[in-house]
Structure 1
């Protein structure tokens, strides 16, 4: 069976890490027709927009997409293409698995948790304005519908994956209405899953606890902003963003992407770490039912990473992006 999948190479190091991922997926024998489309900073000159309509149309047609990182200007310029994609396609669940690799220097061992982040609202809705030249205002949007949907997704994922606990993160002691609504939604959904332990943790305390005892956590569900911050924090516990994949899931459409940025300063130098992109590809393979192929790649990665000389430079090794992919391909072939 051949799969039609949208491929968005991305900006900066995106084309390099996505190319490595595609090579590995093809080496493991999954038959995919890649519908390659461009988005991001490069299409502003050619199309007048960082997110051309043909990108959205391709994803809606194929239902599955693999995407490289896209540049988002800081403080000015166009709005995040990542946020726009999630909103336009209603990709309401951002899934960030965080799992330790044996042999990789990190702050903690035996970490294996999943952060489930609401992906469509909160402060990321982008509703903000200048009140006057000295004051800016940003509106935090939390709805019952989106909150219950993401909490149900987290509990169902915990049940499906035989996870034992869901931890809901909030700041309802201060934001009693917005975060209070998210918390009440989680409490309501928890009643439908009596087999799953449920706990509530305030976001600042959660940051401390994750740094100290990440092994205590299983599935974490959070509003958009907290989920984004905690995801990067958790990735730092296992060796960095280069080891952390992500998935954006909707009712019908799923988009998979590395969590790191476009790293324009090291693009086209063959030194980028492709593991985040590769693991995002693994999540994609599991999503389409190609579990054997996904496990082969995961095992190959584990074997390759045990030898320090096989790692990319950011992990203390000597391999370039292409060479690292070739090492993984040798182990899956």
Structure 2
């Protein structure tokens, strides 16, 4: 699992981490271009603010922090059980491929601060500094009072998107050919909320908490990932251009942007600009 600090938090929390070379998306500039009145500028600014949330997903280039000799430093959590063995295999593969990666092993054995389980400060500093961590399996002790260390890591670094790619490898026969699927799962809420208590003796209640903010966040990530994964930049830019032309006209603004138009009316207006 890749623990990417730059991907996880809300945009306002990672603004200091976004490289200066990352330019605001072209469609944000288009919103200003198409807005010519005071009211349209308000709509444009509202939309641009929303689009700014996508910058957090564009900021990460898939590598760790810049290291010496042209290498990137990546935090390595070997894990338990077979963790050290498979982590060594990963290091051997990276070495054979001459990948420009320098591994920084870290210990994430939980510590307790003010009675609460937490990730060791040294491990937090390493991941925050390197932006990327490779984690092996971590076991959760069986018994009362133990909290999953995997869940602790997710909450500490707000790792809301669990990305599971599944792709066929040429030359290896499998029951299904030409598989290229990516599963993206919300990783911090729902069953992972951790809100549990005993109602009466023998009855335990577990609350599956789901918030709109978390749902929208993982959906934005999923659509951005799909666009990048499929290489649909040109198509996406055309759609974004049509969206901002529609918004600039101000005739079919939906309720989330202060208008009264129905969703199907908005969709029809966008299609006319394609």
* TM-score when normalising by structure 2: 0.53
Say if 2:87 is the partner of 1:18.
Answer: yes
Which residue in the other structure is 1:33 paired with?
A: 102
Give distance in 1, aligned partners of 2:122 and 2:197. 30
Contact 1:14 1:69 in 2 (8 A): yes
Which residue in the other structure is 2:128 paired with?
A: 60
* Shift in CA distance, 75/123, structure 1 to aligned 2, threshold 3 Å: farther
Contact 2:80 2:136 in 1 (8 A): yes
Following TM superposition, by how much is the alpha carbon of 1:99 offset from its aligned partner in structure 2, in angstroms? 1.9
Which residue in the other structure is 1:94 paired with?
A: 162
Helix, strand or coil at the partner of 1:126: strand
Contact 2:190 2:210 in 1 (8 A): yes
Give distance in 2, aligned partners of 1:110 and 1:75. 44
Which residue in the other structure is 1:4 paired with?
A: 73
Which residue in the other structure is 2:148 paired with?
A: 80
Contact 2:117 2:152 in 1 (8 A): no
Alignment map for 1:254-293 (pairs within 5 Å) = none
Say if 2:176 is the partner of 1:108.
Answer: yes
Which residue in the other structure is 2:205 paired with?
A: 137
Helix, strand or coil at the partner of 1:139: strand
**Which of 157, 163, 168 is matched with 2:225 structurally?**
157
Give unpaired runs (5+ residues) of structure 1: 165-187, 196-333
Contact 1:40 1:71 in 2 (8 A): no
Give distance in 2, aligned partners of 1:112 and 1:31. 26
Which residue in the other structure is 1:146 paired with?
A: 214
Alignment map for 1:223-242 (pairs within 5 Å) = none
Which residue in the other structure is 2:65 paired with?
A: none
Following TM superposition, by how much is the alpha carbon of 1:62 offset from its aligned partner in structure 2, in angstroms? 1.3
Contact 2:190 2:209 in 1 (8 A): yes
Higher alpha-carbon Rg = 2
* Shift in CA distance, 122/163, structure 1 to aligned 2, threshold 3 Å: farther
Alignment map for 1:35-54 (pairs within 5 Å) = 35-40=104-109, 51-54=119-122
Helix, strand or coil at the partner of 1:146: helix
Following TM superposition, by how much is the alpha carbon of 1:91 offset from its aligned partner in structure 2, in angstroms? 1.3
Contact 1:39 1:50 in 2 (8 A): no
Following TM superposition, by how much is the alpha carbon of 1:25 offset from its aligned partner in structure 2, in angstroms? 0.9
Which residue in the other structure is 2:190 paired with?
A: 122
State the structure with bigger RCO (CA 8 A, min sep 6), 1 or 2. 1
Which residue in the other structure is 2:242 paired with?
A: none
Task: Write the deviation string for residues 90-128 of structure 1: whole angstroms up to 9, x where unpaired.
Answer: 111110011233565644333221001111111201010
* Shift in CA distance, 57/24, structure 1 to aligned 2, threshold 3 Å: same
Give distance in 1, aligned partners of 2:184 and 2:208. 19
Alignment map for 1:318-333 (pairs within 5 Å) = none
Which residue in the other structure is 1:292 paired with?
A: none
Give distance in 1, aligned partners of 2:91 and 2:148. 25
Task: Write the deviation string for residues 200-256 of structure 1: whole angstroms up to 9, x where unpaired.
Answer: xxxxxxxxxxxxxxxxxxxxxxxxxxxxxxxxxxxxxxxxxxxxxxxxxxxxxxxxx
Q: What is the RMSD of the two structures over their aligned residues, measured on CA atoms?
A: 3.0
Task: Write the deviation string for residues 175-196 of structure 1: whole angstroms up to 9, x where unpaired.
Answer: xxxxxxxxxxxxx9xx7xx89x
Give unpaired runs (5+ residues) of structure 2: 1-69, 233-262
